[in-house]
Each structure stands twice: as C-alpha cells, then as structure tokens.
Amino acid sequence: DAGITQSPRYKITETGRQVTLMCHQTWSHSYMFWYRQDLGHGLRLIYYSAAADITDKGEVPDGYVVSRSKTENFPLTLESATRSQTSVYFCASRATGTGWGGYTFGSGTRLTVV
C-alpha cells in the first residue's frame, strides 16, 4: 500500500534545464497539492488540483507548470530551472468532502539546481 509516491527522491539539475517531479497516488483522491519547503518559510503551496483537468495556482506558482490528465497523477514541471528553485518538494492528496483532513503527504523530492 504505497499511498502517495514521489519520484525521484533526489535530483540535481543545471540552471535552465527543464525538470519534472512525479507524484502518484493510489486512492483516487480528488484533491492534490504541490508544496515547496524552504528553511524559514515552512511549506508554501505552489499549485493544487481539485480533480482531473482542474488546476489552480497557489502562493508561489511562478516558474512551475502542472497538469492532471489522470486523477492519480499530478506532475510538477520546472520549465527552466533556477537556483532559487532549489528546495524540497512535497506532493499531497486529500479525498473530497468536508471534515478535518485525511491529507497524505509523499516523502518529498530534494531538488538542487546548480
């Protein structure tokens, strides 16, 4: 029962390259999220998705692109990586409906842009 899987776990890329971080969930949760974690900033929302083909910007979307053609996948693409995008990236999912939570987080991808 993998739940939510992020890949790769670590990635080093060069400035200007395109890189895609993968996120896959096995529960058919409606909501999916991408956060970045930086020291002194906590976790900040990049993009989120309420369902397949429905995505919207979060707090820090610039330089990122997402897609959600299937409910279970929510890839995050850095179109032209910059050093400021060096961070740990977390994917999360949640079932639809009200209630307190049911959030599940992936184990994160540590991305270094050199």
Partner 1 sequence: AQTVTQSQPEMSVQEAETVTLSCTYDTSESDYYLFWYKQPPSRQMILVIRQEAYKQQNATENRFSVNFQKAAKSFSLKISDSQLGDAAMYFCAYRSEGGATNKLIFGTGTLLAVQP
Would you tell me which residues interact with partner 1 (CB under 8 A)?
31, 33, 35, 40-45, 48, 50, 56, 58, 88, 90, 92, 94, 98, 100-101, 103, 105, 107-108, 110
In the complex, what is the shortest distance from the CB of residue 98 to partner 1, in angstroms, rounded to a whole number? 7
- Minimum Å distance from CB 55 to partner 1? 11
Burial of 25 (0-12, 13-18, 19+ CB in 10 A): buried
Q: Nearest distance from residue 93's CB to partner 1, in Å?
A: 10
**24, 26, 44, 94, 114 from 54: Cα distances, Å:** 16, 19, 20, 15, 32
Rounded-to-integer distance, Cα 52 and Cα 64, Å: 18
| For partner 1, the closer CB: 17 or 38 | 38
CB-based contacts of 98, cutoff 8 Å, min separation 6? none
The smaller minimum CB distance to partner 1, of residues 8 and 16, is found at 8
Is residue 52 within 8 A of residue 73, CB to CB? The reply is no
Instruction: Find the shortest distance in angstroms from Cβ 31 to partner 1.
Output: 5
In this complex, which beta carbon is closest to partner 1, that of residue 43 or of residue 52? 43
